[in-house]
Every structure is written in structure tokens, then in C-alpha cells.
Amino acid sequence: MEAGVLFSGGKDSALAAIMLARDYGVELNTCVFDPDREVPEVRAAAAALGLPFKRRVLGKDLLREAVDLLLTCGYPNDAIDMVHRTAVETLSAEYAVVGDGTRREDRVPRLERSEVQHLEMTTGCSYVRPLLGYGKAEVERLAERLLVVRYGETGNIGNGDYEGELRSALCARGIDPASFFPSRHLQSLVVARRET
């Protein structure tokens, strides 16, 4: 059975993919808004894991909607959750199993239990989050043991996180994203898989 895993190229989604690959044929899916945006670093991360990769285009309309929501709320959480929900729903149309790398204490992106139940009942897919029971310290330990990871601030590391394109869209509107996103937010990018 195939599982479509949302993949930013970072350690969390990589660990989730490794865990799911024990029981499913995993395909890594990175979602972008701009059809012209390529994600070579994320493709390389997928290749390092030895898993097939797909780039999905969610569209510029969704990006505009997400930026409008961010501006209305004054913070990015609801916008990122909306984008994530759309990405999960997109994969649910193709895969019987959809997964991601959300952890126990992640505030965003996060689908609530009622949203997960609705998704599963209406689409027939199973939405699995293998890291949901893991805290940050354990994820870091596993990543250190299984992956070679590069870290950098959002916007300075070429991963497939939603935040980078949201920041760029704010800049395109003449708005400084620094007032909406935390400063010095570190992101990760998998560069290799360690031999175990």
C-alpha cells in the first residue's frame, strides 16, 4: 500500500517517512504555491533517503488566501494550518494513507482531532502522524542517529516549508515578515542518511 508523506526536506518529515517506510511504499510530497518554484535541496534530501519524490503545486490563489488570513489574524498559525489542511486533503485524493512529521508539541501545522476524523470519514484515507507521541528531545536524538542534518534560519535554508513562500509573498506586498514570524527560527534540511 502506498503512503503519501508531506515532506519539507527537514528532519521531522524525514523521520516520519523512515518510520512509515517500514510498513508502506512511501512517496515523499513537497507542496509549493508557485508552479515555477523548484526545490532542488528537497529533491536531494528525498534522494538521500532513497524514496520517490513528487512536487505538488497548491497554487497562487491559496497563497493569496493564506497571506490574507495571516494579515487578518496578525500571526501565521491559522494560515499555516489552512495550507497544511489543503495539502493533506490534496494527498488524500490519491493515497490511502497520508502522513506528515508533526510532533507532540508542535503548535503548527496541526489538525485537530475532529478535522482528522472528518477527513478520514469523507475521503476514506488514513491520516497518520508517526511522531505525534515524540517530543522534541527524542526527535533530535533519532535525527542525530539516523540522519545528517543541516540547520539554518528560515529563508536561508532551501527546504520545502510553507513559511518561506509566505514570507516572500508578504515581501511582495511590501510588508516586513519579521513582525509576523519569530526571529532566528531554525529550520532543518536532511543532507544524508546515516548507515545504521
Q: How confident is the model at residue 157 (pLDDT cuts 50, 70, 90)?
A: confident
Asked whether the beta carbons of 123 and 44 are under 8 A apart, the reply is no
Digit-coded pLDDT (tens) for 93-132: 999 999 999 998 888 898 999 999 999 999 999 999 999 9
Indicate which CATH number applies to the domain containing 147.
3.40.50.620
Distance of CA 44 to the CA centre of its chain: 16
Domains in the chain, number: 1
Phi and psi at 4, nearest 5°, equal -95, 120
Phi and psi at 99, nearest 5°, equal -135, 165
Q: How many CB atoms lie within 10 A of CB 78?
A: 15
pLDDT at 81 over 90: yes
pLDDT at 156 over 80: no
Full domain range(s) for residue 109: 2-193
Digit-coded pLDDT (tens) for 23-74: 999 999 999 999 999 999 999 999 999 999 999 999 999 999 999 999 999 9
The region of weakest confidence among 80-94, 96-110, 128-142, 150-164 is 150-164
Instruction: Give DSSP secondary structure letters for 14-62.
Output: HHHHHHHTTTSEEEEEEEESSTT---HHHHHHHHHHT--EEEEE--HHH
